[in-house]
Amino acid sequence: SAVISQKPSRDICQRGTSLTIQCQVDSQVTMMFWYRQQPGQSLTLIATANQGSEATYESGFVIDKFPISRPNLTFSTLTVSNMSPEDSSIYLCSVEDRLGQYFGPGTRLTVT
Amino acid sequence: AQSVTQPDIHITVSEGASLELRCNYSYGATPYLFWYVQSPGQGLQLLLKYFSGDTLVQGIKGFEAEFKRSQSSFNLRKPSVHWSDAAEYFCAVGANDYQLSFGAGTTVTVRA
């Protein structure tokens, strides 16, 4: 299975600032995904990021708030913009291979 | 719309005893079904998945799950639990391998 790393692993940010989360995969993958896991809740898909095209956002998520880059087949970034305390979550990157979907370790974001 | 219900928020089981985690899904066609495990401080790990074929699916770490279409269920089982199985377990359903809807999770505590 793919090995996925994320940076940073955690951060504490002030309201109104932005944070960019990086996701690196050890193999080339077509599709990468970004999920959010809010405190005490399950995972919610934010968007799908394919290399060479605009990310596709799920209902309730918009590009202005969560811009995504996918410059190549092993890397993606998610930016959480103009943060508020409601954005405090774990953000997870995931990829798909022939066996299924695999997740990174997550980035724990706290907004104060 | 697809959705997943995990009726049990928390289960406590003795080491060596059997474990069954319930999962009910709502989906209009034949779903992809998954079980993931999230250990404390770790990322999500795929235990097993079902799409077609044998309705009893074998996964890693001695887990298995049975797809029952008539009951819209995909319950996870393990005959003998080890202390290392203490974790949070998520059931997920999707139209494919990646656009998944997750249940709220079941936390498993293993007592000696």
Distance of CA A65 to the CA centre of its chain: 12
Which two three-digit tokens encode residue B30? 């034949």
| pLDDT at position B1 over 80 | no
**A68 Cβ partners below 8 Å, 6+ apart?**
A34, A47, A49, A55, A76, A77, A78, A79
**Each residue of A3-22: pLDDT tens digit?**
899 999 999 999 999 999 99
Interface contact flag, B43 A103, Cβ < 8 Å: yes
With CA atoms as reference, the chain A residue closest to B100 would be A45
Interface of A with B in 62-91 (CB under 8 A): none
Residues in chain B with CB shorter than 8 Å from the CB of A31 are 98
Cα of B103 to nearest chain A Cα, Å: 6
> What percent of chain B is predicted at pLDDT more than 70?
100
B50 near A CB under 8 A: no
Closest by CA position to B5, among listed B32, B19, B26: B26
> Mean pLDDT across chain B, nearest whole number?
91
Q: How many angstroms separate the Cα of B104 from the Cα of each of A12, A14, A86, B35, B87?
A: 25, 29, 19, 12, 13
Q: What pLDDT digit, counting tens, does each position of B66-91 carry?
A: 999 999 999 999 999 999 999 999 99
In angstroms, rounded to a whole number, what is the distance separating the alpha carbons of residues B23 and B110? 20
Predicted confidence (pLDDT) per residue in A38-66, tens digit? 887 788 999 999 888 889 999 999 999 99
Q: In chain A, which residues have their Cβ closer than 8 Å to the Cβ of B49?
A: 99-100
Average pLDDT of the segment spanning A22-33: 93
Report d(CA A54, CA A91) in Å as an integer.
20
Q: Which residue has the higher pLDDT, B79 or B44?
A: B79
pLDDT at residue A88 in the model? 96
Distance CA(A100)–CA(B103), nearest Å, equals 17
B102 interface with A at CB cutoff 8 Å: yes
Residue A41 near chain B (CB below 8 Å): yes
Q: How far is A79 from chain B (nearest CA, A)?
A: 20
Q: Tokens 């997920």 appear where?
A: B92
CA dist A83 to A79, A86, B1, B37, Å?
Answer: 10, 8, 30, 29
CB–CB of A4 and B43 under 8 A? yes
A42 with B46: Cβ contact below 8 A: no
pLDDT at B9 over 90: yes
What does the pLDDT read at residue B83? 95
Could you tell me what percent of chain A has a pLDDT over 90?
A: 73
Bridge partners of A72, per DSSP, are A75
Q: Considering only CB atoms, which chain B residues are within 8 Å of A101?
A: 34, 46, 97-98, 100
Q: Identify the H or E element spanning A107.
A: strand A107-111
Q: What is the pLDDT of residue B27?
A: 86
What's the confidence (pLDDT) of residue B84?
Answer: 94
Q: Is the pLDDT of residue B57 over 90?
A: yes
